Amino acid sequence: MPGPVITATKLVKKYKDFAAVDGISFQVAPGESFGLLGPNGAGKSTTMRMVGAVSTRTSGDLEILGLDPNAFGPEIRSQLGVVPQTDNLDTELRVRENLMVYGRYFGLPRAAVAARASELLEFAQLADKAKAKVDDLSGGMKRRLTIARALINEPRILLLDEPTTGLDPQARHILWDRLFRLKEQGTTLVLTTHYMDEAEQLCDRLVVVDKGRIMAEGSPAALIREYSSREVLEVRFGSERNADAATRLAGIGDRIEVLPDRILVYSSDGEAELARITELGLHPITSLVRRSSLEDVFLRLTGRSLIE
């Protein structure tokens, strides 16, 4: 098996006294789709900037494609594709020009960039927008153009920081489809997200990050198996009765999480737990049985929700 394309060992990034990244270690194998899942401010973007060789680490070791980013920034960056959290497309240039100019930044020959730009416009479903102004594109189109731009140098690793934040559901699904194709083609993807559905769709393996540290690591399914039950029963009693009802639910299910607006009951059989609650004489206003998700894993690990 080929060696990892990214190896981070006890990676630390401090801004003055504040440690944005506080001793993170992970490896990414070639062709793997790797995710950093965590709430805002967890240190995901800072980690991505260090992996993208645009931020120097405070301590620890980092190797990207076998090179140390402190010494080989340009060499590493020439083999990466970067999709930043906020689009930084060149609004003074047209859609196709964005791809052309970006390819030239890598020192690639004009003819090769032109051929590649046409392919990528097709891939990003923007071929009919080639001459459009960037500002006239929708949010989803801009995002796809940013991804196309990041692929202009045929990167060995594609870094995506919150790829679908701020997009409507339809645009997200189009984007996921494109990313899934890249994954099928063998591109190594590293992405950060605070959406668990995104992580579940796109990541082979992920780390849960909170406050600059890794809380858990594994495939989405393995994490759910390890840190949560098969099913979750969500019951609501109304905000006033919520806390009171929670005390009477002791002993129901494997575990209970009390949130301000609802109670989560973890169990292998949600319906059975709901029946027991009714037997206790408690009548929730609404109830819902669902499968466990990474949200539950995060709640278990940190006691907090992902999106606050």
Partner 1 sequence: MTGIREQPRASVSAGRPFKALYAGNASSVMQRGWLATRSTNWLVVVSGFFEPIFYLLSLGIGLGSLVGNVTAADGHDIPYAAFIAPGLLATAAMNGAIYDSTWNVFFKMRFAKLYEGMLSTSLGPLDVALGEIGLALARGALYALGFMVVMQVLGLNLSWWAIAALPAVLLVAFGFASFGMGITSYMTSFQQMDLINIVMLPMFLLSATFYPLSVYPEPVQWVIQALPLWQGVELIRGLTTGVVGVGLLWHVLYYLVMILLGLILTTRRLRALFLD
Nearer of residues 101 and 289 to partner 1, judged by Cβ: 101
Nearer of residues 51 and 299 to partner 1, judged by Cβ: 51
Q: Does 96 bind partner 1 (CB under 8 A)?
A: no
Nearer of residues 92 and 168 to partner 1, judged by Cβ: 92
Q: Does 270 bind partner 1 (CB under 8 A)?
A: no
Pick the binder of partner 1 from 3, 10, 59, 105 (CB under 8 A).
105
Euclidean distance between CA atoms 14 and 16, whole angstroms: 6
Q: Does 156 bind partner 1 (CB under 8 A)?
A: yes
Asked if residue 203 lies in contact with residue 191, where contact means CB atoms within 8 angstroms, the answer is yes
Asked if residue 256 lies in contact with residue 185, where contact means CB atoms within 8 angstroms, the answer is no
Q: How many residues sit close enough to partner 1 to count as binding (CB under 8 A)? A: 42
Pick the binder of partner 1 from 96, 116, 142, 262 (CB under 8 A).
116
Q: Does 9 bind partner 1 (CB under 8 A)?
A: no
Phi and psi at residue 69, to the nearest 5° = -60, -25
Pick the binder of partner 1 from 12, 27, 72, 132 (CB under 8 A).
72
Nearer of residues 21 and 80 to partner 1, judged by Cβ: 80
- Contact flags string 184-203 toward partner 1, x per CB under 8 A: -x------------------
CA 186 to chain centre: 18
Q: Does 269 bind partner 1 (CB under 8 A)?
A: no
Radius of gyration, CA atoms only, the chain? 22
Q: Does 84 bind partner 1 (CB under 8 A)?
A: yes
Contact residues for partner 1, defined by CB under 8 A: 52, 54-56, 67, 71-75, 77-80, 82, 84, 86, 88-94, 97, 101-102, 104-109, 112-113, 115-116, 119, 153-154, 156, 185
